[in-house]
Amino acid sequence: MSIRRNPYSIDVIVPCYQEQDALPITAPKIAAYFRDLVASPSNDAMSFRLLLVDDGSKDSTWGIIEGLSEANPEIEGVKLSRNYGHQAAMLSGLSLATADVVVTMDADLQDDIHAVSAMLDAYESGADMALGVRQDRSSDSRGKRGFANAYYRLLRLMGVNIIENHADFRLMSRKALAALLDHGEVNLFLRGLIPTIGFSVMLVPYARQARVAGETKYTIGKMLRLAIDGITSFSVAPLRYVAFVGGGVFLGSILSGIYVLCVRLFSPQTTVPGWASTLLPLLFLGGLHILCIGVVGEYVGKIYLEVKRRPRFIIAERTKSAE
């Protein structure tokens, strides 16, 4: 399938949260890379815009973005009113995209920018999405790698269709982007939504680099939040498991009731020796109860957030909003 597409424009979306150490190094590199791409005759890219989204940083990230925007005609800054999280920040950039093609990537250049040219090749030959897939996770900490592996296994168990080792480094055509933006959900897990959209998808392998500067902005809390969103936004399996466990426990209690009755009726012994046999099941059942209510509560909470239809992000400021 070799459909050469007409010359196209590119919007590059980069969410930035507390990236004052990385941005001064990475943004010029990203801009230079796309400048070369546009100038190169080997593809049909004709122009690009780098959209830096400040996700409510408290450090000097916004000042840096303003400076970059002033000095470079292709760079534009968008400031969100507070920290909405990586997914919402990316979505805000995507919703402002006007180009034929959008590329999303992290601000720390962990996503190997050289994979973009393979993504453009995929687009030029007809793909509507090109997804960056990490080949190598050695730049991640051992804990993070273990967490990721266990999480992918859990997702599969829950029946969530996800492309393994694809995070948020991807190219989308205008058509695929429009389809993605049609999804109005508040609980965002973009990498889970992507496989549900369809269209022709190509995978582009790349080696995950180490962070250029600064620390990871994904705290354990943020990672857990995203992980829970990933499961509860796409699968009702946990609710089903809870029902199964509840059924099992109910059956167990009936059997033990029969046993107690038999002992009472047919055994001469009338006192129950030891307290452990009473206390342990009590604690176990109590804990199980609270856990199950928690799982159900997680879904009820999701419904609560969805029905309110609150905006998923609020834009406070833009550097080149006049155009």
Query: Coil, strand or helix: which one is 106?
Result: coil
Number of residues engaging ligand UDP in binding (CB under 6 A):
16
> What CA–CA distances, in Å, run from 162 to 122, 155, 191?
20, 8, 7
Minimum CB separation of residue 109 from Mg ion in Å reads 9
Interaction of residue 148 with ligand UDP, rule CB under 6 A: no
Q: How many helices (H) and strands (E) does the chain have?
A: 10, 8
Q: Residue 76 phi/psi, 5° resolution? A: -125, 145
Q: Give residue for tokens 């168990």.
A: 157
Among 21, 76, 106, 112, binds ligand UDP (CB under 6 A): 106
Among 104, 110, 235, 319, binds ligand UDP (CB under 6 A): 110
Torsional class of 104: left (φ above 0), alpha (ψ -120 to 50), beta (otherwise): beta
Minimum CB separation of residue 200 from ligand UDP in Å reads 27
Minimum CB separation of residue 83 from ligand UDP in Å reads 5
Interaction of residue 232 with Mg ion, rule CB under 5 A: no
Complex with ligand UDP: residue 19 or 128, whichever CB lies closer: 19
Cα–Cα distance for residue pair 310/185, rounded to 1 Å: 10
Interaction of residue 110 with Mg ion, rule CB under 5 A: yes
Complex with ligand UDP: residue 85 or 235, whichever CB lies closer: 85
* C-beta atoms surrounding 155 within 10 Å: 20
Interaction of residue 89 with ligand UDP, rule CB under 6 A: yes
Cα–Cα distance for residue pair 303/245, rounded to 1 Å: 23
Interaction of residue 108 with Mg ion, rule CB under 5 A: yes
Instruction: Identify the sign of the CA torsion 152, 156, 160, 166.
Output: positive
Interaction of residue 62 with ligand UDP, rule CB under 6 A: no
Interaction of residue 86 with ligand UDP, rule CB under 6 A: yes
Helix (H) or strand (E) holding 307: helix 276-308
Interaction of residue 18 with Mg ion, rule CB under 5 A: no
Among 8, 12, 13, 19, binds ligand UDP (CB under 6 A): 19
User: Do you know the residue count of the chain?
Assistant: 323
Interaction of residue 107 with ligand UDP, rule CB under 6 A: yes
Site for ligand UDP, rule CB under 6 A:
15-17, 19, 55, 83, 85-86, 89, 106-108, 110, 216-218
